[in-house]
Structure 1
Amino acid sequence: MASPGKLGTFRLPPLPTIREIIKLFGLRAVKQLSQNFLLDLRLTDKIVRKAGSLADVYVYEVGPGPGGITRSILNANIAELVVVEKDTRFIPGLQMLSDAAPGKLRIVHGDVLTYKIEKAFPDHVRRQWEDDPPNVHIIGNLPFSVSTPLIIKWLENISLKDGPFVYGRTKMTLTFQKEVAERLVATTGSQQRSRLSIMAQYLCNVEHLFTIPGKAFVPKPEVDVGVVHFTPLIQPKIKQPFKLVEKVVQNVFQFRRKYCHRGLGMLFPEAQRLESTGRLLELADVDPTLRPTHLSLMHFKSLCDVYRRMCDEDPQLFTYNFRDELKRKRRKSQEKEDGMGSCPMICHGSVLRKNTPR
């Protein structure tokens, strides 16, 4: 075996390069799946190095593709690596890596959105939530098409302490489009401040580690890529159910260029909208003329706490969705138009003659 490298004591034996793997198995990135391959092992090594020490850590890699980051992880002296890959075309290349690292790499042909990672690693790695993070780490070069829904899913898992977070405060190092990465870390008042900023930062310490130029990927995406690190907080900054926080934040940011009272008003039925919105803002001590991007986490905490009390007073309030109200109005309007439109036909002489007993 080769001498120890900078990422750990274990080193893979000589293998075909990632470009050679791609050529050998006739692999092509599928645009519809927003696949982009990172071929530069210096960059994959950097991702793994920036994740922190992985010595004796159980790693869960999502979307390994042809195995660039997978190689760097295997060289980091890990305990075990589980990769979940949906695309069958990549399995043979990953199997070559598994053969080269006996007992280190477990390949799962499946969907990261449904795979039960909580059953993948031994119980002894589990930690109490209040303890230091466990020896478990999620790493992935995420396809752009799944990156946002996946991180929202994992953030909800953090709030519930389930999924990958049954082991404790599992750390994550993930790639996103640069714009999404900037939203995840955006501070109060920033133009990039968004729903993602609040949902990530109320549950995690979030750090944008570095940016990878798009030209490093094959095929070259139209955007650069940001590498983002997440460490779940011991105590969330908003102590309310995830779905409630998500509802408040989504409503605020759907009118991001308006004053915040505009989006908050959509939390309430039209008949009580003005009064309830005013009450929410007053009790939360939030200036109604603040823009959504200028609301701090403390503002959102106050809004969520007050909205929760209002929902406790009126249990039907939480299930209210203004879009459903709009659909009902449109349906009634359409039914009225259809009814008026059918009147001439009903009153038409031929119809009357047809339906009138002789």
Structure 2
Amino acid sequence: MLAGKQGLFSGSDVWMTLMFQKEVAQRLAAQPSTPHRGRLAVMTQSLCNTKTVYQVPSTVFVPKPKVDASVVQLTPRISHMDGDKAEIYAVLENILRFYFTKRRKTIGHITRRLSKEVSLPDPVAADLEVIMDFKARPEDITTEQFWQVAVLFHKYKVAIQ
């Protein structure tokens, strides 16, 4: 619904302030090259700017939970979500699933495996080397770089299952 801007999300400036367990909040707001960076961070940050507003200790709740909480603010990102955004978002999800299931491998290794499973047109293969550092790991790649890959795959109709 959020990617398609439907229902509650149909307004242009819908922002949310939500409380999560501290570990989930860390994953949502994780920046590139940090241990908590994963699929969830890239998917969330492709739609929203994320900011951890403050930490909430477990001692403020009754009954006291075993974990701390964090308040995260999500503000919509419109700039790169033009065009066929819902379709590109679906492509992005498949790309992230493929790359982050092999998160300890380098981007170059994962991309070579991808090219064996999916027929990558020559322009796509060449552009991938420009967009991403093949010596990096998935958690080192920025949200914008993954978005560029999704746009590229969408443009050339490259489908990952």
Normalising TM by the smaller chain, what interval? 0.7 to 0.9
Alignment: residue pair count = 156
Q: State the alpha-carbon separation in 2 of the partners of residues 238 and 189 from structure 1.
A: 27
CA contact (8 A) 2:46 2:144 kept: no
Residue matched to 1:216? 60
Q: Percent identity at matched positions?
A: 29
Q: State the alpha-carbon separation in 1 of the partners of residues 82 and 108 from structure 2.
A: 20
Q: Taking structure 1 as the reference length, what is the TM-score of the superposition?
A: 0.39
Cα deviation, residue 297, structure 1? 2.3
* Letter matched to residue 236 of structure 1: H
Matched, 1:295 2:141: yes
Q: Taking structure 2 as the reference length, what is the TM-score of the superposition?
A: 0.80
Cα pair distance change 1:237/1:193, threshold 3 Å:
farther
Structure 1 residue runs without a partner (length 5+) = 1-156, 312-316, 322-358
Alignment partner of 1:252: what SS? helix
Alignment of 1:125-274 (within 5 A): 157-236=1-80, 240=85, 241=87, 242-264=89-111, 272-273=116-117
Deviates more, 1:258-267 or 1:221-230: 258-267
CA contact (8 A) 1:238 1:301 kept: no
Q: State the alpha-carbon separation in 2 of the partners of residues 277 and 214 from structure 1.
A: 52
Residue matched to 1:107? none
Cα deviation, residue 280, structure 1? 4.0
Q: State the alpha-carbon separation in 2 of the partners of residues 262 and 178 from structure 1.
A: 33
CA contact (8 A) 1:175 1:225 kept: yes
The superposition leaves residues 205-258 of structure 1 with CA deviations (integer Å, 9 ceiling, x where unpaired) of 211000111222233333211100111123235864221111112221112221
Alignment partner of 1:308: what SS? helix
Alignment partner of 2:2: what SS? helix
Matched, 1:307 2:153: yes
Alignment of 1:25-40 (within 5 A): none
Query: For the aligned residues, what is the CA RMSD?
Result: 2.7
Q: State the alpha-carbon separation in 1 of the partners of residues 135 and 121 from structure 2.
A: 13
Cα deviation, residue 266, structure 1? 6.3
Q: State the alpha-carbon separation in 2 of the partners of residues 202 and 299 from structure 1.
A: 10
Q: State the alpha-carbon separation in 2 of the partners of residues 176 and 265 from structure 1.
A: 37
Cα pair distance change 1:236/1:223, threshold 3 Å:
farther
Alignment partner of 1:283: what SS? helix
Q: State the alpha-carbon separation in 2 of the partners of residues 265 and 160 from structure 1.
A: 32
Cα deviation, residue 304, structure 1? 1.1
* Letter matched to residue 161 of structure 1: K
CA contact (8 A) 1:237 1:297 kept: no
Q: State the alpha-carbon separation in 1 of the partners of residues 121 and 28 from structure 2.
A: 28
Cα deviation, residue 267, structure 1? 5.2
The superposition leaves residues 104-133 of structure 1 with CA deviations (integer Å, 9 ceiling, x where unpaired) of xxxxxxxxxxxxxxxxxxxxxxxxxxxxxx
